[in-house]
Amino acid sequence: MMATRAQQRPERAEPARSGEQGRDFEFTSADFARIRDLIHRSAGISLSDHKRDMAYSRLARRLRARGLDTFKQYLDLLEAENDPAEWEAFTNALTTNLTAFFREAHHFPILAEFVPRRAQPVSVWCSAASTGEEPYSIAMTLIEALGESGARHASVLATDIDTQVLAKAEAGMYQFDQVKHLSPERLKRFFLKGTGAHAGMVKVRPEVRSLVRFEQLNLTDRDYQLRSQFDAIFCRNVMIYFDKPTQAQVLGRFEPLMKSGGLLFAGHSENFTYVTQAFKLRGQTVYELTRDTAGGARAAPARTTSHASTSGVTA
Ligand SMILES: C[S@@+](CC[C@H](N)C(=O)[O-])C[C@H]1O[C@@H](n2cnc3c(N)ncnc32)[C@H](O)[C@@H]1O
């Protein structure tokens, strides 16, 4: 398998960490190798060697929660019990969720220019939505580009493998610090200011929130069970954690889910040119579907989602 750039770092000569000072739990090289294998099989994530400390500290919480003494015990239990809730906690612990509103800002004017030219209503899939900043930025861009009434029927499907970040995304509440770089116009138009117990926080306005539907989806699943096609897919800063064969499989599944002429937005360090022929680079890490895929999406049962309530915030 080919490794991503992050995984191509020279291997550090590290001693086995069994009994290492300052650690509460025994954590050996064999444990880390097993964690890498399990997270690769379950989520497609290739953990590089320098993520060893991160894996220890994040999973140590699971050992405490389960009252275990060693990583071996925890990993044995994970595999033997095969409990979906523990697998979910294991996966949630090992994902990296860094994101921001209007991150990689050059993509949003491209989206704004693209959507009015499409047959309406437009639909966008944000496939590694993390804590929601990205899908809400997409929804805000749709409102800016199409107007409030034009965007009313537009939709953003926001998915992620990590259920914990999705819960935060659904709530749509953020620290003011996370939005302070936005223009005063955007702040006023798209956010409510927290009061009382929520002072120092903002909440995404219901008009933005209502465009976005959150669901859990593992990009390495064989069948995404999505029933419709998208005008644009955002898949930013997640493929970097996947090896090339996994990237190729994911891109192969995106293809029939895109409307003709649809755009695929990638992260700043992700390059799909050598992974697929189906998408050609348009520039600025935006790819265009090269084939006509009209009617290509499979029908599947609709998924259900929950919506957060809106309390403690005012305009
Ligand atoms: C670094 S964040 C990127 C967030 C956002 N796309 C951005 O660029 O700001 C990567 C996200 O990918 C998600 N992820 C990792 N593996 C995944 C998988 N197999 N399927 C779906 N999401 C995954 C993680 O949970 C995390 O929220």
Pocket flag, ligand 1, residue 239 (CB < 6 Å): no
Domain membership flag for residue 303? no
Indicate whether 10 belongs to any domain. no
Domain that holds residue 84: 16-94
Can you give the length of the chain in residues?
315
What is residue 208's predicted lDDT score, i.e. its pLDDT? 98
Closest CA to 165 of 196, 133, 195: 133
Locate all alpha helices (DSSP H) within 67-214, ordered by sequence: 71-81, 84-94, 107-114, 133-151, 163-171, 184-190, 206-209
pLDDT(154) > 80: yes
Backbone angles phi, psi at 127, to 5 degrees: -95, -5
Count of domains forming the chain:
2
For residue 107, how far is its CA from the centre of ligand 1 (angstroms)?
17
pLDDT digits (tens, 9 = 90+) for 16-28: 344 455 688 999 9
Q: How close is the Cα of 243 to the center of ligand 1, in Å?
A: 14
Q: Classify 130 in phi/psi space as left (phi over 0), alpha (psi -120 to 50) or beta.
A: left
Find out whether the beta carbon of 160 lies less than 6 Å from any atom of ligand 1. yes
Alpha-carbon distance of 93 to 73, in angstroms, equals 17
Q: Is the pLDDT of residue 6 over 70?
A: no
Catalytic residue among 31, 52, 62, 160: 160
Identify whether residues 123 and 163 lie together within a single domain.
Answer: yes
Cα-to-centroid distance, 129 and ligand 1 (Å): 6
Residue 243 labelled as part of a binding site: no
Tokens 């790819």, located at residue: 287
Q: Please check the confidence at residue 309 and state whether its pLDDT lies above 90.
A: no
User: So what's the pLDDT on residue 13?
Assistant: 33
Average pLDDT (224-252) is: 96
List of residues 6+ apart from 80 with CB closer than 8 A: none
- Is 236 within any annotated ligand binding site? yes
Nearest CA to ligand 1 atom 16: 43
pLDDT at residue 21, rounded to an integer: 56
In a domain, 302, yes or no: no
Atom of ligand 1 nearest to the CA of 234: 6
Lowest mean pLDDT among 91-95, 171-175, 205-209, 302-306: 302-306
If asked whether residues 123 and 271 sit together in one domain, one would say yes
Question: From the centroid of its chain, how far is CA 160?
Answer: 4
Is residue 86 marked as binding? no
Average pLDDT, whole number, for the chain?
88
Helices (H), 215-264: 244-254
Q: What is the pLDDT of residues 105-138, one digit of tens each?
A: 999 999 999 999 999 999 999 999 999 999 999 9
**Chain mean position to CA 116:** 26
In a domain, 127, yes or no: yes
Q: Which residue has the higher pLDDT, 156 or 277?
A: 156
Q: Any known ligand binding at 92?
A: no
Return the H-helix or E-strand segment holding 140: helix 133-151
One domain for residues 269 and 169: yes
**Is the minimum distance from the CB of 231 to ligand 1 under 6 angstroms?**
no
Residue after which a domain boundary falls, among 45, 71, 94: 94
What percentage of the chain carries pLDDT values higher than 90?
81
Query: Quick check: 101 and 182 in contact, CB under 8 A?
Result: yes
User: Which range is least confidently modeled, 4-8, 51-55, 265-269?
Assistant: 4-8
What CATH number does residue 177 fall under? 3.40.50.150
Q: What are phi and psi of 114, to 5 degrees?
A: -75, -45
Atom of ligand 1 nearest to the CA of 162: 25
**Same domain flag for 152 and 205:** yes
Ligand-binding site membership of 253 (annotated): no
pLDDT, residue 227, reads 87
Nearest to 63 by CA among 52, 53, 71: 71
What is the H or E stretch that residue 64 is in? helix 52-66
Residue 8 lies inside a defined structural domain of this protein? no
Question: What predicted TM-score, i.e. pTM, was given to this entire model?
Answer: 0.88
238 burial (CB, 10 Å; 0-12 / 13-18 / 19+) is: buried
Last residue of some domain: 38, 73, 94? Answer: 94
> Ligand 1 center to residue 255 CA distance, Å?
19
**Ligand 1, atom 23: nearest CA belongs to which residue?**
161
To the query of whether residue 34 is one of the catalytic residues in this protein, the response is: no
Same domain, 232 and 85: no
Ligand 1: atom nearest CA of 165 is: 27
Interatomic CA distance for residues 244 and 152, integer angstroms: 38
| Interval 87-102 mean pLDDT | 97
Please report the pLDDT score of residue 15 as a whole number.
Answer: 37
Say if 231 falls within a structural domain. yes
Q: 195: CA distance to ligand 1 center in Å?
A: 31
CB 195 within 8 Å of CB 312: yes
C-alpha to C-alpha distance for 144 and 25, rounded to whole angstroms: 52
pLDDT of residue 14: 38
Q: Is residue 100 over pLDDT 50?
A: yes
Q: Are residues 282 and 225 in the same domain?
A: yes
CB count within 10 Å of CB 170 equals: 19
Q: 275 and 204 in one domain?
A: yes
Please check whether residue 130 lies inside any domain of the structure.
Answer: yes
> Do 83 and 142 belong together in one domain?
no
- Told to judge if 162 belongs to the known catalytic residues of this protein, a careful annotator would answer no
Instruction: Point out the least confidently predicted range of 101-115, 242-256, 266-280.
Output: 266-280
Within 10 A of 306 (CB to CB), how many other CB atoms are there? Answer: 8
307: confidence class by pLDDT, cuts 50, 70, 90? very low
Find out whether the beta carbon of 237 lies less than 6 Å from any atom of ligand 1: yes
Q: Is 12 annotated as a binding residue?
A: no
> Is 118 found in the same domain as 78?
no
95 in contact with ligand 1, CB cutoff 6 A: yes
Last residue of one domain, picked from the residues 94, 115, 134: 94
Q: What is the CATH number of the domain that holds 87?
A: 1.10.155.10
Q: Would 102 be classed as within a structural domain? A: no
Same domain, 285 and 164: yes
Please check whether residues 111 and 186 belong to one and the same domain.
yes
Section 85-94 average pLDDT: 97
Residues 123 and 88 in one domain: no
Phi, psi angle pair for 261, to nearest 5°: 75, 10
Statement: residue 289 has pLDDT above 50: yes
Pocket test for ligand 1, best of 42, 138, 238 (most atoms within 8 A of CB): 238
- Given a cut of 90, whether residue 1 has pLDDT beyond it is no
Identified catalytic residue from 34, 58, 152, 186: 58
Is the pLDDT assigned to residue 293 strictly greater than 90? Answer: no
| Tens digit of each residue's pLDDT (9 = 90 or more) over 200-221 | 999 999 999 999 999 999 999 9
